[in-house]
């Protein structure tokens, strides 16, 4: 009997909840009016979004000369932000699809928010290639549809085209996967809400869900198929983004390690952002029983694993460059560590290599304040990683007479602020109108870890 109890892990959901209590806990935050803190957060995020919107309109009307670009640095803040946001979205697919296929039950408390974060991050990422085109009103030309332009087609070797297909595919699959998982919970909301527009909308979006065995059987079949379809996206999407760099001939970019390096970095940054947002939601929405120390600890362990992969990639880049005996490749990496932008490189190393090492200690993983601080540092470090890869590889090329610096303009900074405003605004609206916790999935793990009577 003792051996049986030794194999039982701690419960995933605390408080000895019943299925009815789960429904009440999750839906009550949607049925009552929003807290004043939500309105304050929405006001701040909407102001950031408005600032970014003004900046985008101005640069579209004026041209990308409003950026701090020069003859050497042709890619800078916009592509840095694009790679950052597309990476943020990877954790949602990992938690929802990959961990579902591996039957990791702890994902049920965080997968809904992670999926929403993926969709919102991809929307934020899609802004930058459109602006970078210079003529965003011609973005539809990238779609291979029958047209009247005769032999004029897009250049399929262009990284912008690769990004377009990567973003559109990723967004479509992620949105369908997220919406399908929402259907049972929308039906729950439909049945709980009083008459009004919210009940009508929930009824329409729940697609006539009736909770029968036949309905659940088809739902679970489609959900499994979509999980299998979405899993390759974790690898393929950021691999395509890495090819923007790896297929070039610029020292510091044309390395074969970039695809796995970018994928590991994307999961690393995405998981960090998920943890940041879930720690906030856990406290402000009183979800401590659903997002427990066990959930936080599992995500911290994933941060340790992917952070180790990123650290290995940093070291491999340097060792390969030194071993290659290529003076241009060697200079590119030495310039990162000792050049005029070395401060950005060492911020990247400090945040991405050193700070995650704290998570090896269980007492750190149990301290939500320290974990939150570490995730913030990782988010900062991963943005600087993309900045270092792009700008430091460009600002000093083969001819010293071409060497120049790069300083972002106020327009670029405002656009970055606006993208964070868009991200936070959409996430706050998601928390207000959609169940943050997957009610139906959490009910399936209520007895996990409980001692048998």
What percentage of the chain has pLDDT greater than the value 90? Answer: 40
Based on the number of CB atoms within 10 Å of its own CB, is 450 exposed (0-12), middle (13-18) or buried (19 or more)?
A: middle
Q: Are 234 and 263 in contact (CB under 8 A)?
A: yes
**Which pLDDT does position 221 carry in this prediction?**
93
Tell me the C-alpha distance between 65 and 82, whole Å. 19
Name the one residue in this structure whose structure tokens are 């900045």. 387
Tell me the C-alpha distance between 302 and 104, whole Å. 13
User: Rounded mean pLDDT of 187-200?
Assistant: 85
Torsional sign, CA 409, 411, 414, 419: negative
What pLDDT, in 10s, does the model give residues 69-103? 888 888 888 889 999 998 888 878 888 888 888 88
**Which pLDDT does position 4 carry in this prediction?**
40
**Which pLDDT does position 358 carry in this prediction?**
95
Band (pLDDT 50/70/90 cuts) for residue 9 is low
Q: How far separated are the first and last CA of the chain, in Å rounded? A: 12
Band (pLDDT 50/70/90 cuts) for residue 247 is confident
Band (pLDDT 50/70/90 cuts) for residue 254 is confident
Q: At what angle do helices 19-31 and 159-192 cross, to 10 degrees?
A: 110
Q: Residue 211 — φ and ψ, nearest 5°? A: 75, 15
Tell me the C-alpha distance between 255 and 338, whole Å. 21
User: Rounded mean pLDDT of 418-422?
Assistant: 95
User: In this model, does residue 252 exceed pLDDT 70?
Assistant: yes
Q: Where are the alpha helices (DSSP H) in 285-409?
A: 293-324, 327-338, 342-349, 362-365, 368-391
Domains and CATH numbers, the chain: 16-144+151-443 (1.20.1630.10)
User: In this model, does residue 2 exceed pLDDT 60?
Assistant: no
Q: DSSP letters of 13-82?
A: S-S---HHHHHHHHHHHHHSPPPHHHHHHHHHHHHHHHHHHHHHHHHHHH-GGGS---SS--S-HHHHHH
What pLDDT, in 10s, does the model give residues 356-380? 999 999 999 999 999 999 999 999 9
Tell me the C-alpha distance between 111 and 126, whole Å. 23
- What's the mean per-residue pLDDT of the chain? 87
**Which pLDDT does position 342 carry in this prediction?**
93
**Which pLDDT does position 452 carry in this prediction?**
58
**Which pLDDT does position 360 carry in this prediction?**
95
Tell me the C-alpha distance between 428 and 45, whole Å. 9
The length of the chain, given as a count of residues: 453
Task: Please list, in sequence order, all residues whose beta carbon lies within 8 angstroms of the beta carbon of residue 427, skipping any fewer than 6 positions away.
Answer: 116, 117, 120, 277
Name the one residue in this structure whose structure tokens are 């059987």. 217
Please state which of the ranges 25-29, 423-427, 438-442 shows the lowest mean pLDDT: 25-29
User: Rounded mean pLDDT of 406-421?
Assistant: 93
**Which pLDDT does position 324 carry in this prediction?**
87
Tell me the C-alpha distance between 380 and 344, whole Å. 11
pTM confidence score: 0.90
What percentage of the chain has pLDDT greater than the value 70? Answer: 97
Q: DSSP letters of 258-282?
A: HHHHHHHHHHHHHHHHHHHHHHHHH
Please state which of the ranges 60-69, 158-167, 306-315, 417-426 shows the lowest mean pLDDT: 158-167
Q: Are 88 and 269 in contact (CB under 8 A)?
A: yes
**Which pLDDT does position 313 carry in this prediction?**
93
Task: Please list, in sequence order, all residues whose beta carbon lies within 8 angstroms of the beta carbon of residue 222, skipping any fewer than 6 positions away.
Answer: 180
Tell me the C-alpha distance between 285 and 132, whole Å. 39
**Which pLDDT does position 6 carry in this prediction?**
39
Long-range contacts of 15-23 (CB under 8 A, 24+ apart): 15/289, 17/289, 17/446, 18/446, 19/443, 19/446, 22/437, 22/439, 22/442, 22/443, 22/446, 23/188, 23/192, 23/439
**Which pLDDT does position 5 carry in this prediction?**
42
User: In this model, does residue 3 exceed pLDDT 50?
Assistant: no
């Amino acid at each position: 009997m003792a051996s049986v109890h030794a194999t039982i892990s701690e419960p995933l959901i605390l408080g000895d909840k019943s299925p009815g209590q789960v429904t009440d806990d999750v839906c009550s935050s949607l049925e009552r009016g929003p807290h004043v803190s939500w309105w304050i957060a929405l006001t701040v995020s909407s102001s950031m979004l408005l600032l970014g919107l003004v900046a985008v309109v101005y640069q579209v009307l004026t041209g990308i000369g409003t950026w701090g670009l020069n003859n050497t640095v042709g890619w800078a803040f916009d592509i840095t932000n694009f790679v950052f946001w597309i990476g943020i979205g990877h954790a949602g697919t990992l938690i929802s699809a990959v961990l579902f296929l591996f039957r990791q039950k702890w994902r049920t408390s965080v997968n809904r928010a992670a999926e929403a974060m993926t969709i919102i991050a991809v929307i934020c990422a899609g802004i930058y290639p459109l602006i970078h085109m210079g003529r965003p009103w011609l973005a539809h030309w990238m779609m291979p549809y029958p047209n009247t332009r005769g032999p004029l087609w897009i250049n399929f070797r262009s990284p912008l085209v690769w990004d377009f297909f990567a973003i559109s595919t990723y967004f479509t699959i992620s949105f369908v996967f997220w919406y399908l998982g929402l259907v049972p919970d929308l039906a729950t909301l439909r049945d709980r809400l009083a008459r009004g527009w919210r009940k009508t909308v929930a009824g329409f979006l729940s697609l006539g869900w009736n909770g029968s065995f036949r309905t659940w059987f088809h739902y679970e079949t489609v959900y499994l198929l979509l999980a299998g379809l979405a899993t390759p996206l974790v690898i393929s999407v950021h691999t395509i983004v890495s090819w923007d760099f790896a297929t070039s001939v610029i020292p510091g970019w044309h390395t074969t390690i970039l695809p796995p390096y970018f994928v590991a970095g994307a999961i690393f940054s995405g998981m960090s952002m998920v943890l940041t947002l879930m720690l906030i939601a856990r406290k402000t929405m009183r979800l401590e029983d659903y997002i427990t120390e066990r959930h936080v600890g599992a995500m911290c362990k994933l941060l340790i694993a992917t952070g180790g992969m990123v650290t290995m990639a940093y070291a491999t880049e340097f060792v390969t460059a030194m071993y290659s005996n290529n003076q241009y490749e060697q200079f590119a990496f030495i310039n990162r560590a000792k050049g005029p932008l070395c401060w950005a490189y060492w911020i990247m190393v400090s945040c991405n290599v050193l700070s995650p090492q704290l998570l090896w200690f269980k007492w750190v993983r149990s301290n939500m304040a320290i974990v939150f601080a570490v995730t913030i540092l990782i988010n900062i470090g991963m943005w600087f990683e993309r900045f270092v890869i792009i700008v430091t590889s460009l600002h000093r090329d083969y001819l010293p007479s071409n060497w120049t610096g790069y300083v972002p303009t106020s327009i670029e900074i405002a656009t970055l602020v606006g993208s964070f405003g868009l991200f936070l605004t959409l996430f706050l609206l998601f928390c207000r109108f959609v169940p943050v916790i997957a009610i139906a999935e959490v009910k399936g793990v209520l007895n996990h870890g409980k001692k048998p009577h």
